[in-house]
Amino acid sequence: MDTNARRRRAHKTIIDTCSELYSHDVSLYEEIPRTEIQLAEFQELAVDRVQLLRIVEQSSLKGYKFFSDEWKKCIKDDLIKNNLKKYVRLMSGLCGHTELDIQARRADHISHYILRLAYCRSEDLRRWFLARELDWFRIKFAAQSSSAIQNFLKLNTLNYTPISHECKEGLKDQLTESTMGLTDVMVTTSDFYKVPFLDVLPLIRSRKVFLKEGYAYIPTADLVVCIQSKFRSKLSEALNQINHKLPLLDDERLSDLCNLHQTYTGQEYVVGNNKNSINPADIDQFSSKHYPLCMRHLHEVLRTNHHLKHNARLIYGLYLKGIGLQYEQFIEFWRQEFTKVMDGEKFNKEHLYNFNHQFGKVGKMTDYSPYSCMKIIMGNVGPGESHGCPFKHSEPAVLKSKLNEYGVSTDGLTEIMSLVKNGHYQIACTKYFEHVHLQPPTITINHPNQYFEESRNLSIDKDKSLRI
């Protein structure tokens, strides 16, 4: 799967003649797509949805209250930044019928099924996918008007109907007392549904619902709990079924889906995209001010040992290339460092080809891109090797000591280590940026070169402000 540059290909999108399939922004994805699409579009839809689900996950870890206006705005802003406006359209609650609306719903439907193929393969992947899809479903549902919700229930043959005005008036006091966040006036103006209590166990567990004779009485806003429960059950069962059938599929075009969860979906950082070259004399200063933890560690190991093992050389070399170290300076940088422990002849014989290869000067002449966070996180780190993500691959005590050495406060240490413990390594790196720069980056860190770029731009902006 070609996921390198985030170029938008011009696909000739076929709008299905059966437009009923895409008649609503909210879907339970019960109809298997029958449309033929080009492989390039298949790949693009897959990567776009992975990015959508990552944005939903990352926004959930930024301190906003779940499903609050601030949380939703954060998701919308990140979707717009990443050119995923079709998903922003699905958060509007308009349920429009223009070609753009149908295209957005079509992409949402097909991409969901593509990711079923990718994320059915292990318990961890299924759990991650299920949680993110439930969040995305709730985001779309919460944006719907009362009439749009009634239409959704009808389209999906869900037998939920509002109780009568007389019934609601008779239960008004109980509904007001039992339903969190609703006043008398809001109870009067809101629709309530009578549903089996087993469909809303989360609400019962948190004592947020009125119960009577085996039924729960819930407002429209909580109806999503019932539908989510059914969606979760059906999707979980479907993922297990696909996983069992997967060995029967023999299609090499699907092979790249195995690594989709590790796919980097952000900007590629190559010299051609970096208009600002750097001076090798500034690298030590940049390391302490602008490097992410992983690259700062590699730089310090290099300066101490005057050598790095193969994987570390590759990762750090491509990173230096990405931040703007030009070819001649790049080769001289490594030559000066390595020849502190070996002669020039040995460097030329054993290492020069490797460094030329990173710049695409030999071999396949490929202009290689720097490693993303996900690629570093998912890589293997053997004994005695210095590469890897410190938030994942370092011992907690070593990581805490290093963070303390670099000026992270006690509160910051607690926050970062909590994220590390729960496996949120990129969010931990983002928090590290926030604590050392005293303000967050513009978007969650997902690439070492993004960290450098954000940090350096912040420093440049501050220098300009001082001069003014």
To 5 degrees, how large is the angle CA 182–CA 187–CA 192?
Answer: 110
- So what's the pLDDT on residue 184? 86
Instruction: Pick out the residues of the known binding site for [4Fe-4S] cluster.
Output: 294, 373, 389, 429
Mean pLDDT of 68-81: 92
Mean pLDDT of 19-24: 81
Give phi and psi for 212, each to the nearest 5.
-155, 120
Least confident of 81-90, 200-209, 308-317: 200-209
Q: What is the pLDDT of residues 83-107, one digit of tens each?
A: 999 999 999 998 998 999 999 999 9
Q: What is the pLDDT of residues 379-430, one digit of tens each?
A: 899 988 999 999 999 999 999 999 999 999 999 999 999 999 988 899 899 9
- Domain range 19-154+231-263, CATH architecture: Up-down Bundle (1.20)
Query: How do the domains of the chain map onto residue ranges?
Result: 19-154+231-263, 156-223, 280-466
- So what's the pLDDT on residue 275? 53
Query: Is the pLDDT reported for residue 458 higher than 60?
Result: yes
Task: Report the C-alpha gap between 291 and 285 in whole angstroms.
Answer: 9
- So what's the pLDDT on residue 59? 86
**Quick one: three-class SS letters along 151-182?**
HHHHHCCCCCCECCHHHHHHCHHHHHHHCCCC
Query: Is the pLDDT reported for residue 242 higher than 80?
Result: yes
Beta strands in 66-209 (DSSP E): 192-196
- So what's the pLDDT on residue 271? 56
Most confident region among 142-146, 245-249, 457-461 by mean pLDDT? 142-146
Mean pLDDT of 292-302: 97
Select the more confidently predicted residue: 118 or 248.
Answer: 118
Least confident of 63-67, 139-143, 318-322: 63-67
**Mean pLDDT score of the chain:** 89
Least confident of 134-138, 163-167, 271-275: 271-275
Rounded (10°) angle between helices 283-290 and 293-305:
140
| Burial (Cβ within 10 Å: 0-12, 13-18, ≥19) of residue 340 | exposed
- So what's the pLDDT on residue 19? 64
- So what's the pLDDT on residue 462? 77
pLDDT band at 161 (very low <50, low <70, confident <90, very high): confident
Mean pLDDT of 308-312: 95
Instruction: Pick out the residues of the known binding site.
Output: 294, 373, 389, 429
| Burial (Cβ within 10 Å: 0-12, 13-18, ≥19) of residue 429 | buried
Q: What is the pLDDT of residues 36-45, one digit of tens each?
A: 899 889 999 9
Query: Is the pLDDT reported for residue 441 higher than 80?
Result: yes
- So what's the pLDDT on residue 438? 93
Mean pLDDT of 308-326: 95
Task: Report the C-alpha gap between 462 and 363 in whole angstroms.
Answer: 43
Least confident of 52-66, 212-226, 249-263, 442-456: 249-263
pLDDT band at 80 (very low <50, low <70, confident <90, very high): very high
pLDDT band at 301 (very low <50, low <70, confident <90, very high): very high
Handedness of CA 325, 326, 327, 333 (dihedral sign): negative
Q: How far is residue 382 from each of residues 49, 243, 374, 386, measured CA to CA in Å? A: 33, 31, 18, 9
Mean pLDDT of 113-142: 94
